[in-house]
Amino acid sequence: MDTQLKTIGRGPAAAGPDDPIKHIKPSVDPSTLHHRQLLDGAFWQRIPAYREVTEAQFLDHQWQAKNTITNPAKLLAAVQDLVPQAFIDDVSEGFHRSPMSIRVSPYLLSLIDWADPYNDPLRRQFVPVASKLLPDHPKLTLDSLHEQADAPVPGLTHRYPDKALFLALDTCPVYCRFCTRSYAVGVDTDEVEKVSLKATEERWERAFRYIAERPELEDIVVSGGDSYQLKARQLTLIGNRLLEMPNIRRIRFATKGPAVMPMKLITDTEWVDALAAVVEKGRKLHKEVVLHTHFNHPNEITAITKRALDIVFERGIIVRNQCVLQRGVNDSIATMQLLVKRLGHCQVHPYYVYVHDLVKGVEDLRTTLQTALDIEKAVRGTTAGFHTPTFVVDAPGGGGKRVAHSFEHYDRATGISVFAAPSVKPGFFLYFDPVDTLAPDIQARWASPTEQEVMVEAAIAQARANMDATASASSVR
- Work out the average pLDDT over 16-27: 81
How far is 236 from 274, CA to CA, in rounded Å?
6
Closest CA to 207 of 162, 152, 261, 264: 152
Q: What is the pLDDT of residues 86-137, one digit of tens each?
A: 998 999 899 888 767 788 999 999 999 999 999 999 999 999 999 999 999 9
275 with 245: CB under 8 angstroms?
Answer: no
442 vs 23: CA distance, rounded Å: 53
The pLDDT of 310-324, averaged and rounded, is: 97
The pLDDT of residue 25 is: 83
Q: In this predicted structure, what is the pLDDT of residue 198?
A: 75
Q: What is the CA radius of gyration of the chain?
A: 25
Predicted confidence band of residue 303 (pLDDT cuts 50, 70, 90):
very high
Contacts of residue 33, Cβ cutoff 8 Å, sequence gap at least 6? none
- b/e code 134-150 from CB counts within 10 Å (16+ = b): eebbebbebbbbbbeeb
pLDDT at 4: 45
Q: What is the pLDDT of residues 342-368, one digit of tens each?
A: 999 999 999 999 999 998 889 999 999
Provide DSSP, 300-368: G-BHHHHHHHHHHHHTT--EEEEEEE-TTTT-SHHHHHHHHHHHHHTT-EEEEEEEPP--TT-GGG---
Q: CA triplet 383, 389, 390: central angle to 5 degrees?
A: 130
Q: Which of 193, 152, 150, 195 is nearest to 170 (CA)?
A: 195
CA distance 433 to 412: 8
Give the chain's domains with CATH numbers: 43-132 (no CATH), 156-402 (3.20.20.70), 407-471 (no CATH)
CA of 122: how far to CAs of 134, 265, 301, 445, in Å? 19, 21, 12, 34
- Residue 254 phi/psi, 5-degree rounding, is -100, 130
Contact 400, 357 (CB under 8 A): no
CA 365/CA 328 separation, integer angstroms: 7
pTM of the model: 0.90
Residue 15's pLDDT is what?
61
β-bridge partners, 352 = 322, 390
Phi first, then psi, for residue 400 (nearest 5°) are 85, -175
- State phi, psi for 326 to the nearest 5 degrees: -135, 140
